[in-house]
Amino acid sequence: MCLGMFMAILDIQVVATSLPTIQSTLAISREAMSWIQTAYLIAEIIAIPLTGWLTRALTLRWLFVIAISLFTLASIGCAFSSSFTTLVSFRVLQGFAGGVLIPAVFSAVFLLFPIRLHPVATTMAGIMAVLAPTVGPVVGGWITDTWSWHWLFLINVAPGVVAALATPMLLPRERPRLSDLATLDVPSLGLLAVSLACLEIGLKEGPQHGWLSPFCSILIVLSAAAATVFAIRTLRTAHPVVELSTFKSRSFAIGCALSFCLGIGLFGSVYLMPVFLAYVRHHDAFEIGTIMLVTGVAQLATAPVAGLLESRFDPRWLSAAGFGLFAIGLGCSAFESRVADFQEMFWPQVLRGVAIMFCLLPPTRLALGSLTASRVPDASGLFNLMRNVGGAIGIALIDTILYGRTGGHAEALRERLIAGDVTAAQAIGLDLTLFTHRPPQVSDATVEAYLRPMVEKAAFALSANEAWALLACVALLGLLLIPFAAGPLEGIDAGADRL
């Protein structure tokens, strides 16, 4: 199951690194290119909260088999797509199936294992969940450079077939409740889909078109309205699509809030680093992935320690240590220069890699470990949904800073250069000899053309530092939320029907 989840998460990253190659091969416009990713993410974010209802109807065993089989077949369809429409259609199927796999694995941790093995199982699932975004860029870059973009999808086939054949023999046999499919609240499902799809599209378009633009304003209002009606209808119906009443558990609610904060920091950092390294440092996808492997190695090294400590200490203390260290790691990147590269990024990545395991594993136990077995599937879907929504919001906030602040920083640097500020010349990397002794035959237009790229890169680096600072503040917010969580014994459901 972890193998299937890993491939589903990895697929997002490896495809992102090769979008320009796919664009040129299929003759896709630049405006339409982003929908290759957006279609996947919208389908995924809609599928995640439905996992609980699907688990009750199909059982965990058959839900996983169907989902991994659909993901594998859709991957083959993507690989052999010859047009933009065909590719996006298969990406929707792939995203929906991938969205089911992620919460299904975290449900399995608490449904298939006794309490004493929860730390080990959570650690294994956690490693797969956070390692995939880290190694994705280097895997995607290597595949595109070595083979072709089709193999970005074909690499899913062998693991998918193995998982589809093995899980029916390994997962416990339960009787499906197919009659529950007839109780599906179709209007609630439609409201949920509209709300999450509008939110995802609004977050994608907002930074470029402006958050107050008519298009984005309509999407955000529609998302909020649909979410409100969905919540009211769900709390009143006898057969809810998603059990929102689970949020009455204080530990679960705080765990979801921590998952949201982690999503902003994790997905935000994995997005911001490649953007900086590509635009400012001119690294290709494979070089970027190699630099970012530091975080993955730190995660792997920390995982056994995190699993060992999780079984011995209060998850609140471990979560506090994780989010505190995560904030430090993110904050250290807020002081990087425009020439920052592997060495300057090494220790902040190590700190974040160590912290991420403590930001994921203890909050997962805090959120799901005290619930009854019947409530775990729904809760797992909501817990993972919060992380993905946090990631989407985090990337939107980063883009807002990069689009909105870079121009102002560039203008400020330009004015300082005109005023003869030596520190501004040093900030953009200009040779001070040229700055103080300009050759008389060089025109103003020549000087401006020469300096513009240097100013833009320095301004972009300043905006990136502000984005890192924002991510650090979100991690600190997570740290401040932890004291409100219930203790290990306070949060246990009365009469829990543990398996």
Are 54 and 18 found together in one domain? yes
pLDDT, position 396: 93
Are 211 and 336 found together in one domain? no
Are 63 and 146 found together in one domain? yes
- Last-in-domain residue among 182, 206, 229: 182
pLDDT, position 239: 84
Residue 25 pLDDT exceeds 90: no
pLDDT grade, residue 164 (50/70/90)?
very high
Which one-letter amino acid corresponds to residue 179?
Answer: S
Are 367 and 232 found together in one domain? no
Residue 1 pLDDT exceeds 50: yes
Q: Which residue has the tokens 């109807």?
A: 57
Phi and psi, residue 167, nearest 5°: -60, -35
Rounded Cα–Cα distance for residues 179 and 181 (Å): 5
Percent of the chain with pLDDT over 70: 94
For 463-484, what is the mean pLDDT? 96
For 164-191, what is the mean pLDDT? 89
Residue 49 pLDDT exceeds 90: yes
For 406-419, what is the mean pLDDT? 91
- Last-in-domain residue among 163, 182, 201: 182
pLDDT, position 260: 97
- Last-in-domain residue among 199, 217, 240: 240
Single out the residue of 432, 457, 374, 453 nearest to residue 56, CA to CA.
374
Helical H segments across 50-176, by residue range: 51-79, 84-112, 118-146, 151-154, 157-170
Are 364 and 429 found together in one domain? no
- The answer as to whether 495 is a domain residue is no
Are 27 and 86 found together in one domain? yes
CATH number for the domain including 475? Answer: 1.20.1250.20
pLDDT, position 438: 66
For 380-401, what is the mean pLDDT? 94
- Whole-number mean pLDDT of the chain? 89
- The answer as to whether 245 is a domain residue is no
What is the CB-side half-sphere exposure of residue 372 using CA atoms within 13 A? 9
pLDDT, position 480: 96
pLDDT grade, residue 496 (50/70/90)?
very low
- The answer as to whether 367 is a domain residue is yes
Are 116 and 23 found together in one domain? yes
Kindly state the DSSP code that residue 324 receives in the 8-state scheme. H
pLDDT, position 419: 84
pLDDT grade, residue 269 (50/70/90)?
very high
Are 87 and 157 found together in one domain? yes
Least confident range from 53-57, 74-78, 477-481: namely 53-57
pLDDT, position 498: 38
pLDDT grade, residue 487 (50/70/90)?
low
Task: Return the structure tokens found at 400.
Answer: 């807002």
Rounded Cα–Cα distance for residues 160 and 71 (Å): 8
Are 426 and 440 found together in one domain? yes
- The answer as to whether 499 is a domain residue is no
pLDDT, position 434: 64
- The answer as to whether 498 is a domain residue is no
Phi and psi, residue 429, nearest 5°: 85, 25
- What burial class does residue 212 get, using C-beta atoms within 10 Å of its C-beta: 0-12 exposed, 13-18 middle, 19+ buried? exposed
Least confident range from 28-37, 285-294, 395-404: namely 28-37
- The answer as to whether 497 is a domain residue is no
pLDDT, position 488: 54
Q: Which residues contact 169 (CB under 8 A, 6 or more apart)?
A: none
Which one-letter amino acid corresponds to residue 257?
Answer: A
pLDDT, position 499: 38
pLDDT, position 344: 95
Structural domain boundaries enclosing 323: 250-402+452-490
| pLDDT tens by residue, 104-135 | 999 998 899 988 888 889 888 888 888 888 78
Are 363 and 410 found together in one domain? no
| pLDDT tens by residue, 135-145 | 887 888 788 77
Report pTM. 0.90
- The answer as to whether 73 is a domain residue is yes
Are 31 and 96 found together in one domain? yes
Which one-letter amino acid corresponds to residue 250?
Answer: R
| pLDDT tens by residue, 180-239 | 888 888 999 999 999 999 999 999 889 888 898 999 999 999 999 999 999 999 988 888
pLDDT, position 35: 86
Angle at which helices 376-418 and 35-47 pack, to 10 degrees? 150
Single out the residue of 486, 488, 418, 481 nearest to residue 455, CA to CA.
418
For 473-484, what is the mean pLDDT? 96
pLDDT, position 489: 47
pLDDT, position 435: 64
* Count of the separate structural domains present in the chain: 4
| pLDDT tens by residue, 415-471 | 988 888 888 888 888 876 666 666 666 676 777 788 888 999 999 999 999 999 999
- The answer as to whether 496 is a domain residue is no
Are 284 and 363 found together in one domain? yes
